[in-house]
Structure 1
Amino acid sequence: MVAVFLLQHYYEVENLEETKIIGIYSTKEKAEVIIRKYQELPGFKLYPGGFYIDEYNLDEDNWTEGFINVG
C-alpha cells in the first residue's frame, strides 16, 4: 500500500477557525522538515503548535459514513 502525508495548519482566533493545506509529502519525515521551516514564517510562528500530519493510503476511501448538515 502506498501512503502519502498531508500537512495542514490549523488555528482559531475568537470565532474564526482557519485551516491551511501546506502540502502532500511522500514521507512523514519530509513533512516534519517543512513544519520546522514554516514555524519561522509570519503568521505561522504565532501558532507553532497548529501543524498536523495525516497519513492517507492512495486509492482508499477515507470518509465512508455520510454526514449530517447542521447548517
Structure 2
Amino acid sequence: MQKIYYLYHVRYEDTDDEDVKVIGIYSSRKQAKLAIERMKKKPGFIDFPDDFQIIQDVINREGWLEGFVTC
C-alpha cells in the first residue's frame, strides 16, 4: 500500500465559501511540509501561512465506492 500526500491551501471566506488550491502531490509527509515552507514565502500565501492542509491517501484505490447523487 503506497501512500501519497496531497497538499492544499484552503482559505475560508466570511461566508460558507472556501478558496481551495491544490498545491501538489508528494511521496512523503516530509516532502509536503518542505513544499509548505517554500510556498509560505510566495505572494498571497505569505498572508495566509496557516491555511495549508496535508491529506494522506493511498495510490490505486477508489475513493467513491458508493457513487454520488445529484439534485
Residue 32 (structure 1) aligns with: 33
CA distance in 2, matches of 1:4, 1:68: 28
Instruction: Specify whether residues 57 and 45 from structure 1 end up closer, same or farther in structure 2 by C-alpha distance, changes over 3 A only.
Output: same
TM-score where L is the length of structure 1: 0.83
Matched residue SS, 1:48: coil
**Pairwise CA RMSD of aligned residues?**
1.6
Question: How far did 1:12 drift?
Answer: 2.3
CA distance in 2, matches of 1:66, 1:30: 32
Q: How many residues align?
A: 70
CA distance in 2, matches of 1:11, 1:47: 8
Question: How far did 1:28 drift?
Answer: 0.6
Q: Which has the higher helix share?
A: 1
Residue 8 (structure 1) aligns with: 8
For structure 1, which runs of at least 5 residues remain unmatched after alignment?
none
Instruction: Specify whether residues 69 and 46 from structure 1 end up closer, same or farther in structure 2 by C-alpha distance, changes over 3 A only.
Output: farther
Give the percent of matched residue pairs that are identical in Structure 1 and Structure 2: 31
For structure 2, which runs of at least 5 residues remain unmatched after alignment?
none
